[in-house]
Amino acid sequence: MTRFLLRRFAMGLVLLFVYVSGLFFFVQIALPGDYVSHFALFLSNAETEALRDQLGLNLPIWQRYLNWLFNLLRGDLGIAYSIRGEGQAVTEIIKNTLPVTLLIFGLGTVIAFLIGQWLGKITAWRGPGFLSGSVTFISIALYTSFPPWLVFLVIYLVVWRLDIPISLQGRPGFNVPDMSRAQILWQILAGLLISIFIALIVAWASSRFRKKPLPALMFFLVLLVSWIASWYILGIQNSIPEILRQLTLPTITFILLSFGEVVLIMRTSMVDKIDEDYIQTAKAKGLPDNKVRDKHAARNALLPVTSRLIISIPFLLSGMVMIEETMNVQGIGTALFFAVGMQNIPLALGISIVIGIICLAARLLLEVMQAALDPRIRSGLNGRVRTP
């Protein structure tokens, strides 16, 4: 398992390098004009040239590439272009915009996955009926709904009809969010990671000492309690309501957008499993119905869902970016659009790298999960492949 992870990781690094290099040339060559030409109307010729010199845009492309690459190897993503004096460091901008995206995307994906697989499981197990039909209808409707339209509907229903005050600006473009908010978000994220760790330890201890696995509900309760506790320990409890006010709506929209697909895959996969012989056997042994459903059918049905999710991650992420753009969340997607629109090459490259890394990490996580779910894959990873 460790060897597999290391190999995947090394492979990921190589891919990342190829990706980054390809991206550099693609962005430079495919986009017409450059950063300076956007402001050409306001600047005199001499000023334009001076700015080009200052930003290093007059150098040949391979030299720019090598410079950028060496900086990258040192962990320096460069400085975002700016016409007024010294620009901000790209790492700084990413540091400020990443936590919102991570929080919404990570939390949203996990919740969407949990809800989706649960609904798919239940509806497939019950068979055709009112519940199953309506759940399927809703999931298809959500899966095929145009993201901006969904955003509009959610805003319309929640903000205008229900009169719940949620701060939503118009469409003012991109402002780098202030540092303190980003810091608080990072702290929330760190708190979440630590709480997951604590909950895992509690679950492990429960199965080790009580000889009983921790119920899923208890797991989430521990998670929630320790997360909330972490806010108080870090001393950020006062800013939580404000952050909640800003993030709840995008998160809910993201969940709505992504859980339909999970429901549909889980349902089809589960329906396939119900006819299997081992389900009959499990029922014949006299196991309670929900045990057969959860332990025998659902566990097997989850495999195709996770493998499909690996492929869907980029698509979920782009849905996320669409939501960010329409809801004007100052996240990494908005920053990316801003950077590309202005041809702010270092910023665009830096953000693309971060998105690539998120995709890679999510994929690695799912692969580990798949190995944990499927003993066949696990044994394959350990090198014990059964001969035919």
Q: Which residues contribute to the site for another protein (CB under 8 A)? A: 11, 15-16, 18-19, 22, 30-32, 140-141, 143-149, 152, 156, 170, 268, 272, 275, 310-311, 313-315, 317-319, 321-322, 325-326, 333, 336-337, 340-341, 352, 355-356, 359-360, 363
Q: Specify the residue, 131 or 216, whose C-beta has the smaller distance to another protein.
A: 131
C-beta of 228: minimal distance to another protein in Å? 33
- Pairwise CA distance, residues 61 & 28, whole Å: 8
Q: Specify the residue, 246 or 326, whose C-beta has the smaller distance to another protein.
A: 326
User: From residue 319, how far is each of 107, 111, 327 by CA, in Å?
Assistant: 14, 16, 12
C-beta of 217: minimal distance to another protein in Å? 33
C-beta of 75: minimal distance to another protein in Å? 20
C-beta of 43: minimal distance to another protein in Å? 21
Query: Which residues, at least 6 apart from 33, have a Cβ–Cβ distance to it below 8 Å?
Result: 343
What are the two backbone dihedrals, phi and then psi, of residue 57, each rounded to the nearest 5 degrees? -80, -10
Return the DSSP state at 169: -
C-beta of 161: minimal distance to another protein in Å? 12
What SS3 class is residue 89?
A: strand
- Pairwise CA distance, residues 179 & 186, whole Å: 10
Q: Specify the residue, 21 or 48, whose C-beta has the smaller distance to another protein.
A: 21
C-beta of 230: minimal distance to another protein in Å? 31
Q: Specify the residue, 226 or 300, whose C-beta has the smaller distance to another protein.
A: 300
Return the DSSP state at 74: T
Q: Specify the residue, 86 or 275, whose C-beta has the smaller distance to another protein.
A: 275
Pull the structure tokens for residue 111. Answer: 């919740």
C-beta of 199: minimal distance to another protein in Å? 29
Query: Which residues, at least 6 apart from 343, have a Cβ–Cβ distance to it below 8 Å?
Result: 31, 33, 34, 35, 37, 38
Contact 68, 55 (CB under 8 A): no
User: From residue 69, how far is each of 24, 62, 64, 73, 355 by CA, in Å?
Assistant: 10, 10, 8, 6, 18
Q: Specify the residue, 65 or 143, whose C-beta has the smaller distance to another protein.
A: 143
Q: Specify the residue, 251 or 312, whose C-beta has the smaller distance to another protein.
A: 312
Amino acid at 165: P
